[in-house]
Amino acid sequence: MLEMLSQDFMINALIGSVVLSITAPILGMFVVSRRISLVGDTLSHLAFAGIAIGVFLDFFPLLTTITFSIIASLLLIKLMQSNTLNSDAVLAVFFSSSMAVGTVLLSLSEQVININEILFGSLLWITRQDILYQGIVGLSIIAITLFSYKKWFLISIDQDLSRVNNTNVNFYDNLLIVLTSILIVVSVRMVGVLLISSLLVLPILIALQLTNNFRNTIFIGIGISLLCTLSGVTSSYYLSSHPSIIPPSGLIVIILSAIFTIVLIKNNLKIDKFESNF
Amino acid sequence: MTKILELEAINVIRNKNLILENVSLSIEDSDFLGLLGPSGSGKTTLLKIMCGLITPDTGKITYPSTKKPKIGYLPQALPSLPNSPATVMEIISSGFDSKPFTNNHEKIITMAKEMGVQNLLETKITQLSGGQIQLVFLIRALIDNPDMIILDEPSSSIDTKSQSKIFQILADVNKNNIPVIFSSHDTFAITNSANRIACINKKLDYHGSSKDFLSNKHLAESYGYSVDVLSHKGHD
């Protein structure tokens, strides 16, 4: 353990894990309760296209990625709100077209890019600067959530009731999507674009099986996320040996999925037992 | 008496169908207005226009006394919340238009006691029956001292005993010059509680006192068939 903590990149990875474990379930709770869980997946694919554009243009890659992701996510939510197309069709179009744009632009780029690291993340990728960006984004998410909690909660209950209470539903939906999009971009180095949405959704799905109120679901989700992310990062360090490096994202999601399955089976057994008493 | 809301010549057309035709109606602070009419007559649309949820195609909505009043609203179709972990306490708390971090638990407990649901406050909303959910959302509509209360079929899933309790609470609120507007298919509930009745069938067929409404003519006009009104001693 001490050996692991003597490595600078591992300290960065562990700090990054803690920040991500706190912020992802906060936004994940509202994403899940708005029943737009697949939006997280689409946003992470948009981030892939954003990274590719940043690499291709070779012009402030992070700024380019964030700007592209914000614009594309606002366009995505605008189309979903307009009811011109079904939401799942909009998600499917953005999902595939962003992957297509990303793949083509990365192939055309003159820079040497390891696509595996973008798709699955890597412990070696994380720098102090990444931690700083994650910290700033994390603190902003916590502060905005404290002031938007009641509005996001009410919107998740009923949009008409929110509008009667003078809540601008579209504004708060846009805010949620933009924050999620920025969180994905600054965390993508650690967990990669393909699996980051699991960190938004899975801890909350597990917490929903264990809690009895809305607010506690977020806190339990954070606890589960911390446990799984730190275990995944630590396991990745000990299980990897050059040249085979196991990305932490895969291990984190395997641990989360295992816990989710166990909790789900346990709860269903309880229901069966309850029903058999009648 | 102060006018709170005025609707003038409201028309609503959806998919080439006329939903509301030339409806004019004013709401005063003393109004306990019952909205009656057959299914598909435009009651819900009219209530949603009053709440600001639907913009009419033509017509004018004005708030003569002040700015837009704070509305306590109970929708006809209650939110479907499968797998939601939200508790009754959290749902009712969302009715407060207060700043974040404000604790309003005492007021919620008092009102929950009045409605007989104090034991359900920490229960998940998904574990309640349809009637209990309706009561919870009714408390939510009343909790933050609204300037106007709009309820779309507030008693449709509720037992008779709770219904009379609800209408008594609404009557008490109305005594403080808070207008109450509600729709129902229950002619007895409307004539027994409301001081004014509006009968709607795309157009406003009748608008006046409950006593006048109980003539066969108005009931027959609204529902398209003759209705006999029976009076009992002690009940007008």
What ipTM score was computed for the predicted complex, to two decimals? 0.86
H or E element: which one contains B88?
helix B88-93
Q: Which residues of chain A have pLDDT under 70?
A: 1-2, 124, 242-243, 271-278
- CA-CA-CA-CA torsion sign (B156, B159, B160, B166): negative
Judged by CB atoms within 8 Å, which residues 141-170 of A form the interface with B? 146-147, 149-150, 153-154, 156-158, 160-161, 163-166
Residue of A149, A165, A217 with shortest CB distance to B85: A217
- Interchain contact B87–A (C-beta under 8 A): yes
**Cα B52 to Cα A163: distance, rounded to the nearest angstrom:** 8
Q: Would the CB atoms of B90 and A213 count as touching at under 8 Å?
A: yes
> Nearest Cα to A136, choosing from A77, A193, A85, A62?
A62
Say how far residue A179 (Cα) sits from the centre of its chain: 10
Q: Is B175 helix (H, G, I), strand (E, B) or coil?
A: helix
* Average pLDDT of the segment spanning B116-135: 90
Q: Does B13 reach chain A within 8 Å, measured CB to CB?
A: no
* Contact of A15 with A131, CB cutoff 8 Å: yes
- Look at A154 and B94 and tell me if their CB atoms are within 8 Å: yes
Check if B90 contacts A (Cβ < 8 Å): yes
Q: In this predicted structure, what is the pLDDT of residue B231?
A: 62
When CB atoms are compared, the residue of A161, A164, A212 closest to B124 is: A212
B55 in reach of chain A (CB within 8 A): no
Check residues B156 and B110 and name the one with the higher pLDDT.
Answer: B110
CA distance A164 to chain B (A): 6
Q: To the nearest whole angstrom, how far is the Cα of A15 from the nearest Cα of chain B? A: 29
Nearest residue to A34 (alpha-carbon basis) of B139, B81, B16: B81
pLDDT digit string (tens) for B10-46?
A: 999 988 889 999 999 999 999 999 998 888 899 999 9
Query: What gap in Å lies between CA B29 and CA B147, rounded to an integer?
Result: 9
Query: How many contacts, defined by CB atoms under 8 Å, are there between A and B?
Result: 64
Q: Is the pLDDT of residue B233 over 60?
A: no
In chain B, where does the domain assigned CATH 3.40.50.300 lie? 1-69+149-227
Q: Do A149 and B122 touch (CB under 8 A)?
A: no
Residues comprising chain A, all counted: 278
Put simply, the answer to whether A161 touches B84 (Cβ < 8 Å) is no
Peptide bond into B154 cis (omega under 30): no
Taking only the tens place, the pLDDT of each residue in B164-198 is 888 888 999 999 999 999 998 888 778 888 999 99
How many percent of chain B have pLDDT more than 70? 88
Between the CA of residue B173 and those of A63, B69, B113, B116, B142, what are the distances in Å? 56, 16, 16, 18, 9
In angstroms, the CA A67 to CA B227 distance is 67
Residue A84 sits in a domain whose CATH number is 1.10.3470.10
| Domain with A66 in it | 2-276
CB-nearest to A212 from B83, B85, B100 is B85
Among the partner residues B48, B91, B97, nearest to A165 by beta-carbon distance: B97
Shortest CA gap B85–chain A (Å): 5
Residues of B in contact with A163 (CB under 8 A): 51-53
What per-residue confidence (pLDDT) applies to A178? 96
Site from B47, B94, B102, B151 to mutate, A interface, most A CB atoms within 10 angstroms: B94
Q: What is the pLDDT of residues A233-252, one digit of tens each?
A: 999 888 877 667 788 889 99
B-chain residues within 8 Å CB-CB of A158? 75, 79
Q: Please state whether beta strands B3-14 and B17-28 pair in parallel, antiparallel, or not at all (unpaired).
A: antiparallel
Number of structural domains (chain A) is 1
**Is A213 within 8 Å of B87 when comparing Cβ atoms?**
yes
Task: State how far residue A13 is from chain B, nearest Cα, in angstroms.
Answer: 32
Question: Do A164 and B84 count as a contact with CB atoms less than 8 A apart?
Answer: no
The CATH fold assigned to B1-69+149-227 is Rossmann fold (3.40.50)
Q: Are B34 and B60 in contact (CB under 8 A)?
A: no
Quick one: pLDDT at residue B236? 47
Q: Least CB-CB distance to B83: which of A208, A213, A216? A: A208
B100-109 mean pLDDT: 81
**Looking at the complex, does the CB of residue B182 fall below 8 Å from at least one CB of chain A?**
no
Residue A199, φ and ψ in degrees, nearest 5 = -70, -20
Going by pLDDT thresholds of 50, 70 and 90, the confidence category of residue B227 is low
Quick one: pLDDT at residue A207? 96
Q: Select from A154, A159, A164, A218 the residue whose CB has the most chain B CBs within 10 Å, as the one to mutate to test that interface.
A: A164
- CA triplet A223, A227, A230: central angle to 5 degrees? 130
If DSSP states are collapsed to H, E and C, what string results for chain A? Answer: CHHHHCCHHHHHHHHHHHHHHHHHHHHHHHHHHCCCHHHHHHHHHHHHHHHHHHHHHCCCHHHHHHHHHHHHHHHHHHHHHHCCCCHHHHHHHHHHHHHHHHHHHHHHCCCCCCHHHHHHCCHHHCCHHHHHHHHHHHHHHHHHHHHHHHHHHHHHHCHHHHHHCCCCHHHHHHHHHHHHHHHHHHHHHHHHHHHHHHHHHHHHHHHHHHCCCHHHHHHHHHHHHHHHHHHHHHHHHHHCECCECCCHHHHHHHHHHHHHHHHHHHHHHHHHHHHHCC
With an 8 Å Cβ cutoff, is B18 touching chain A?
no
**Within 13 A of B235's CA, how many CA atoms are on the CB side?**
9
Distance, in Å, from the CA atom of A54 to the CA atom of A14, rounded to the nearest integer, reads 27
